[in-house]
Amino acid sequence: MDWVSRMNEAIRYIEDHITEEIDYSEAAKIACCSTYHFQRMFSFITDVALSEYIRRRRLTLAAFELQSGPVKVIDLALKYGYDSPEAFTRAFQSMHGTTPTAARSAGTKLKAYPPMTFQLSIKGAAEMNYRMEEAGPFAVVGVRNRVNTEMAFDIVPKLWAEAAENGLFGKLWDIRDESRKVRGILGVCAGGDFGKSEEFDYILAITSEQSPPEGMAKLDFPAAAWAVFEAPGSPDNLQDIWRRLYTEWVPVSAYDLANLPAIECYLPIEENKNELWVPVVKRK
């Protein structure tokens, strides 16, 4: 099954369970990637967070039901996962601009979000510089932070600023292992499969075999294949590499994303580039 088909199967799973508590890890399994990658990939491709998409779909279906029969608001609230009619009404009004009661009336304007369908679009006007590497086993040591997936673009830069202010990078540099291919100051995106969680671990780290100092954690990596993407210039350019990884490279490559953390490598400033290391497996 190709990438597009798998993503559409994942959407079908969500639609089939739209009135239930949706297990993100199950949707990710259908898409053949980790929960972390599935949530990030969905957001990059669609410009909407997975949780927001699910919310929109539920409130779209709720509006249809209000207009087609005498269903009770309290029953709809429970059906679509709200704790109370009041919480449901607030969410409904936030999206539709009207109350559930008013939505029953003819002439009331409502919003409808249809199920998403993924298609392959032709891109590639700009090249992506990458290489394949075999690396590991190796370990990284650093400070672990729990980050909300939807807030990552705001939170992660603040973590780096705080780390610089607190002298963390100097401490990491002192315990570095220079013999490893993975080098520089690292931002490790340790997603894993957290079921319905919308959070991931972001570790500010260094490649090291030493025991972690107080307040730090150690993460071991097995031997794996990695796709390594270069991001010239500013560290901010890594975000564009993330976007293009999900929207351009993964759909047409011969690889799937492995269920291991990806690593942002911030190299010495004189190299004028940084790297994104993404663990991959051959597509079946």
> pLDDT tens digit string along 52-70?
999 999 999 999 999 988 8
Tell whether the model's pLDDT for residue 80 goes beyond 80: yes
Token representation of residue 6: 């798998």
The number of C-alpha atoms within 13 Å of 81 and in the hemisphere containing its C-beta is 15
| Nearest Cα residue to 57 out of 105, 22, 101, 97 | 22
List CB contacts of 217: < 8 A, sequence separation 6 or more: 141, 142, 143, 144, 203
The pLDDT assigned to 3 comes to 81
Q: Which residue ranges make up each domain of the chain?
A: 3-103, 130-282
Write down the architecture of domain 3-103 according to CATH: Orthogonal Bundle (1.10)
Q: Are strands 224-232 and 130-135 parallel, antiparallel or unpaired?
A: antiparallel
What was the pLDDT predicted at 195?
A: 44
Q: Which two tokens stand for residue 146?
A: 């729990």
pLDDT in the model for residue 193: 46
The fold of 130-282 is: Multidrug-efflux Transporter 1 Regulator Bmrr; Chain A (3.20.80)
pTM of the model: 0.80
Written as six digits, the tokens of 257 are 């994303």
Residue 41, pLDDT above cutoff 70: yes
